[in-house]
Amino acid sequence: MRVVLQRVSQASVRLPDGSPPREARRIGPGILVLVGFTSGDGEDALVWMAGKIADLRIFPGEDAAMDRSLRETGGGLLLVSQFTLYADARKGRRPDFTAAAPYAEAERLFERLREAFEAELPGRVACGLFGAKMEVALVNDGPVTLVLDR
């Protein structure tokens, strides 16, 4: 599993399948999580990642620029699937996505990761729509962007 997380003052996903594009989900201050899965990702990795992100001290506190976690701040989390995180663009001009988990497996993992985040941060998790074309908007706060692999 590969995650790109960004500390945000706000973030949203919209589904551009209508006119005008309809709002899917929105958070205020918190973390935008873009996640991609590879074959072999398991339950232990999902639970670990949800706990790790909930407890990462990347928010300002009284004494340091990064002293508080999402769990402590009460912020939201927006979870968005992004299989392109497993793109291999070392050869040719077209990225290769064979390292990404197959659709059905990734969909199951995404749903399970959502459940793990809900267990860690009840009522504070919003999600994009798995497999859909989405427009993601965010205001990166800091900027703070981290890449986590598991």
CA-CA distance, 100 to 85, in Å (whole number)? 8
Q: How confident is the model at residue 19 (pLDDT cuts 50, 70, 90)?
A: low
Spans of all domains in the chain: 2-149
pTM strictly above 0.85: yes
pLDDT-derived band at 147 (thresholds 50, 70, 90) equals: very high
| C-beta separation of 63 from 98 below 8 A | no
Distance CA 93, CA 76 (A): 37
Pinpoint the alpha helices (H) of 6-148.
43-55, 70-73, 103-120
Tens of pLDDT, residues 94-139: 999 999 999 999 999 999 999 999 999 999 999 999 998 899 999 9
Average pLDDT (21-43) is 89
Q: Is 27 helix (H, G, I), strand (E, B) or coil?
A: strand
Residue 7 per-residue DSSP state: E
Homologous superfamily of the 2-149 domain (CATH): D-tyrosyl-tRNA(Tyr) deacylase (3.50.80.10)
Residue from 30, 55, 3, 43 nearest 124 by CA? 30
| Confidence at residue 63, expressed as pLDDT on a 0 to 100 scale | 85
DSSP3 helix / strand / coil % (the chain, rounded to 5): 25, 40, 35
| pLDDT higher than threshold 60 for residue 32 | yes
Number of H helices, E strands in the chain: 3, 8
- Confidence check: pLDDT of 83 > 70: yes
**pLDDT tier, 18 (very low <50, low <70, confident <90, very high otherwise):** low
